[in-house]
């Protein structure tokens, strides 16, 4: 993501994908290396004993993503994570969709191949709740003060892996306890290729989906969603999430609904006060008139530096966000 009052720089360079066999192996390894879901998530369900969001479980998904290496579009790590997300949905019995597309690379004379992913869950025909996060990571640590480190790819523990980790654990909970209404987990590609001062290089996957979500036959087609909840940079050990500026300005009712739930749940990481405006994957949907809120803590010194590693994140922070979203999935707002 980028903010108009904060500068960033950096360029991405695509790499060839690893062979398909290697991808499947990586996916299986990733799934196997994450501990089995806790008993409460795997075996409980229904009114007697509910599945609960487990921050430690989400943290293990964050760490395993980082262990894959950079998830830059076109890299082996990106391909392995895409395969792992699809295998995760399949193993849980949930429906998953690949939404591949091509577009010119914003900074290189090559075709960029990106893939948004959608996992569907839930019952009934009420309005769908969309939960999103970007699963790509940034090609460089361009805000790092050390020039040598600034040229390296971002680990993206918070910037990328944190939101994706929450979604991967939510998939497990929804498999154990199907939601009362439809839910779509959306994994956006190509969020973080942008350069300083060039918003056009950011949010490539969400721009594409915002233009085509209601195409005939598309997995999200149908009545407009109840709303999009975007999770980005939600793993900061020192988590404080204000009401992001674009969300508040263009989807105030939806933003206040989500924050009111956080307050009712006593989740102290959520601060119901105006925060900075951050250009992120929710903006293309806001521009199309769809309600969207970005849950983001942009006060993160490690942003786009080599210090954005798992040690800068915590299970407790992921749990604050996961508990809120899981409650909104179980008890959808009217």
Smallest gap from Cβ 218 to Zn ion, in A, equals 27
Q: Going residue by residue from 124 to 163, which x/- string records binding to Zn ion, judged by CB under 5 A?
A: -----------------------------------x----
Q: Which residues, numbered 218-237, are part of the site for Zn ion (CB under 5 A)?
A: none
Burial of residue 248 (CB within 10 Å: 0-12, 13-18, 19+) is: buried
CB-wise, 270 or 298, nearer to Zn ion?
298
Smallest gap from Cβ 1 to Zn ion, in A, equals 5
Q: Which stretch binds Zn ion (CB under 5 A): 27-35, 52-60, 189-197, 237-245?
A: 189-197
CB-wise, 159 or 244, nearer to Zn ion?
159
Smallest gap from Cβ 230 to Zn ion, in A, equals 13
Tokens of 85: 């997300």
CB-wise, 195 or 226, nearer to Zn ion?
195
Smallest gap from Cβ 86 to Zn ion, in A, equals 24
Q: Which stretch binds Zn ion (CB under 5 A): 19-27, 71-79, 94-102, 184-192?
A: 184-192
CB-wise, 10 or 219, nearer to Zn ion?
10
Q: Going residue by residue from 10 to 49, which x/- string records binding to Zn ion, judged by CB under 5 A?
A: ----------------------------------------
**Residue 12 and residue 10: Cα distance in Å, rounded?**
7
**Residue 211 and residue 245: Cα distance in Å, rounded?**
22
CA torsion sign, 161 to 164 to 166 to 170?
negative
Smallest gap from Cβ 186 to Zn ion, in A, equals 17
Smallest gap from Cβ 269 to Zn ion, in A, equals 20
Q: How far is CA 165 from CA 81, 156, 277, 319, in A?
A: 11, 12, 24, 11
CB 167 within 8 A of CB 229: no
Smallest gap from Cβ 262 to Zn ion, in A, equals 24
CB-wise, 14 or 122, nearer to Zn ion?
14
Q: Which of 144, 189, 192, 308 binds Zn ion (CB under 5 A)?
A: 192
Q: Which residues, numbered 248-267, are part of the site for Zn ion (CB under 5 A)?
A: none
Smallest gap from Cβ 118 to Zn ion, in A, equals 22
Question: What DSSP letter does each residue of 287-317 carry, written as one string?
Answer: HTT--EEEEE----TTTTSTT-SGGGB-HHH
Tokens of 329: 């999935």
Helix (H, G, I), strand (E, B) or coil at 180: coil
CB 255 within 8 A of CB 293: yes
**Residue 302 and residue 233: Cα distance in Å, rounded?**
11
**The tokens 């010119």 sit on which residue?**
104
Under rule CB under 5 A, residue 319 binds Zn ion: no
Of the candidates 32, 53, 320, the one whose C-alpha atom is nearest the C-alpha of residue 176 is 53
Query: By CB under 5 A, how many residues form the interface with Zn ion?
Result: 2
CB-wise, 192 or 244, nearer to Zn ion?
192
Helices (H), the chain: 20-33, 39-43, 55-67, 76-92, 147-150, 162-176, 204-212, 245-250, 252-264, 283-287, 315-330
Q: Which residues pair with 86 in a beta bridge?
A: none
Residues that bind Zn ion (CB under 5 A): 159, 192
């Amino acid at each position: 993501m980028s903010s108009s009052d904060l500068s960033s720089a950096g360029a991405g360079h695509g790499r060839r994908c690893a062979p398909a066999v290697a991808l499947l192996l990586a996916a299986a390894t990733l799934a196997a290396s994450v501990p089995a879901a806790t008993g409460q998530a795997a075996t409980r369900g229904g009114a007697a004993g509910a599945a609960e969001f487990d921050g430690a479980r989400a943290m293990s998904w964050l760490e395993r993503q980082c262990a894959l290496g950079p998830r830059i579009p076109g890299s082996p790590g990106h391909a392995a994570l895409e395969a792992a997300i699809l295998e995760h949905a399949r193993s849980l019995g949930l429906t998953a969709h690949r939404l591949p597309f091509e577009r010119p690379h914003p900074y290189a004379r090559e075709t960029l191949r990106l893939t948004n992913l959608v996992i569907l869950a839930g019952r009934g025909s009420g309005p769908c709740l969309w939960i999103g996060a970007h699963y790509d990571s940034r090609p460089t640590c361009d805000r790092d003060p050390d020039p040598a480190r600034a040229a390296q790819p971002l680990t993206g523990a918070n910037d990328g892996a944190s939101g994706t980790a929450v979604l991967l654990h939510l998939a497990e909970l929804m498999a154990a306890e199907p939601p009362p209404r439809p839910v779509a987990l959306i994994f956006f590609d190509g969020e973080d290729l942008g350069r300083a001062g060039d918003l056009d290089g950011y949010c490539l996957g969400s721009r594409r989906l915002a233009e085509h979500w209601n195409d005939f036959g598309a997995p999200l087609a149908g009545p407009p969603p109840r709303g999009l909840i975007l999770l980005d940079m939600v793993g900061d050990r020192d988590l404080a999430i204000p009401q992001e500026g674009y969300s508040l300005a263009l989807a105030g009712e939806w933003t206040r609904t989500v924050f009111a739930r956080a307050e009712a749940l006593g989740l102290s990481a959520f601060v119901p006060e105006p925060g900075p405006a951050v250009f992120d994957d929710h903006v293309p949907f806001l521009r199309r008139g769809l309600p969207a809120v970005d849950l983001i803590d942009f006060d993160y010194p490690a942003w786009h530096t080599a210090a954005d590693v798992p040690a800068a994140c915590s299970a407790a922070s992921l749990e604050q966000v996961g508990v809120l979203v899981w409650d909104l999935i179980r008890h959808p707002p009217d």
